[in-house]
Amino acid sequence: MMFMTHDDLTTWLDHLTKELKVIAPRDVGKGHVLYRPVTNSSEITFDYTRPDLSAKEFLLPHTERLMRFEKRADQLEMHDLSCEAEQIIFGIRPCDAHGFVALDALFRDQEPADAHYSQRREMTILVGMACPQMWEGCFCTSVGGAPDDPSHLDALLIPVDGGYAVQTVTDKGEKLLASADFKEVTDGQDRTLPEIPMNEIVPVLPPEQWPGHFDEDYWMRLGERCLSCKLCTFICPTCRCFDLRDEPIASGANLVVHERMRVWDACTAPNYRTIAGGHNSRPLKGQRIRNRYYCKFHYYPQDFGPLGCVGCGRCVEVCPVNIDILEMLSTVSAMQRELDVLEAEVEL
């Protein structure tokens, strides 16, 4: 096992911040931790649960300038606005790295790939920090993840007695960690990997069983509580809906400039589904919340492969009216069990 002391880690991070853009968990006050750019290791917090927001904004910014149109007299020019330089997301939790798999499936792995997302993805190195436990609301183990899952990272650090066990996962991770000071564990000290306390597994219905529950009253009852505040979609590492807007930047006698902006959108918003002419095909809150969950567990896996949920638990924590995805998953599974019993009785 490769091992790094905390002092070696901070020395390495100080070195990295001089060369690259480093994003890491940062205490921003009043008990809130966010992934934020840091300029040295003293700005990083190492004592954190899951940051309040996922890291998706560093690959899919909430507001992004995509291109600029310039019209001079009869000449129209279009400029693609380029992405930033290489970046490291240090201390990312395994569930947040897992969230990028869902974004990749749409923005990178479909033709045509989204140039901005793909370029940023290519230029991003993910150095994860294993969670010492599963916190309240976490259910990564129910949706294919784990608190120490290295699968979607370039390298993973696991806190152990006296420092961190280091696991490189990809060539990118190996190249990055080549500049760090590792120690082979030969001193007989106890560096065994910790046992991570796990939360109970939540039943998740397979994608093909969801359509049988589409017309249940449950969704409308759930919708009665929803405030359409959109918090659950904005904090989610896998929600990825966006809106495109052309914003006027400058205009004069011979020059008109517009920029095309991409901004996050949310399917829980009242007007999300409104089209030209004013028709809204999802006017009820119950329809919108149902869509949010069907997108995650039925439509998205069916159309693109991965589930649209990595079990980070943020939407459980943030919802002001306690709409709880764990409760929803248990309810839908109970409905399926009832349906199975009814179908078995019919067959008899």
CB under 6 A: which stretch of 182-190, 231-239, 256-264, 327-335 binds ligand SF4? 231-239
Number of H-type helices and E-type strands within the chain = 10, 12
Our CB check for ligand SF4 shows the closer of 228 and 287 to be 228
Task: Report DSSP state, residue 298.
Answer: I
Interface with ligand SF4 includes 22 (CB under 6 A)? Answer: no
CB under 6 A: which stretch of 14-22, 112-120, 172-180, 233-241 binds ligand SF4? 233-241
Q: Which residue has the tokens 């009785």?
A: 345
CB under 6 A: which stretch of 8-16, 118-126, 191-199, 222-230 binds ligand SF4? 222-230
Across the beta sheet with 242-251, the strand order is 75-80, 63-72, 255-264, 242-251
For 279-306, b/e burial (b = at least 16 CB within 10 A) is eeebeebbebbbbbbbbbbbebbeeeeb
CB under 6 A: which stretch of 5-13, 106-114, 162-170, 315-323 binds ligand SF4? 315-323
Q: How far is the CB of 292 from ligand SF4 (least distance, A)?
A: 8
Interface with ligand SF4 includes 237 (CB under 6 A)? Answer: yes
Interface with ligand SF4 includes 236 (CB under 6 A)? Answer: yes
Interface with ligand SF4 includes 145 (CB under 6 A)? Answer: no
Interface with ligand SF4 includes 323 (CB under 6 A)? Answer: yes
Task: Report DSSP state, residue 55.
Answer: S
Instruction: Determine the angle formed by the axes of helices 218-225 and 325-347, rounding to 10 degrees.
Output: 170
- Residue pair 265/242 in contact (Cβ under 8 Å)? The answer is yes
- Contacting ligand SF4 (CB under 6 A), which of 104, 313, 328, 329? 313
Interface with ligand SF4 includes 286 (CB under 6 A)? Answer: no
Interface with ligand SF4 includes 315 (CB under 6 A)? Answer: yes
Residues 6 or more apart in contact with residue 34 via CB below 8 angstroms: 25, 26, 28, 51, 52, 53
- Contacting ligand SF4 (CB under 6 A), which of 232, 295, 329, 332? 232
Our CB check for ligand SF4 shows the closer of 62 and 79 to be 62
Our CB check for ligand SF4 shows the closer of 9 and 232 to be 232
Find residue 140's DSSP bridge partners.
none
Q: Which of residues 28-57 bind ligand SF4 (CB under 6 A)?
A: none
Residues that bind ligand SF4 (CB under 6 A): 226-232, 235-238, 268, 289, 296, 309-315, 318-321, 323, 325
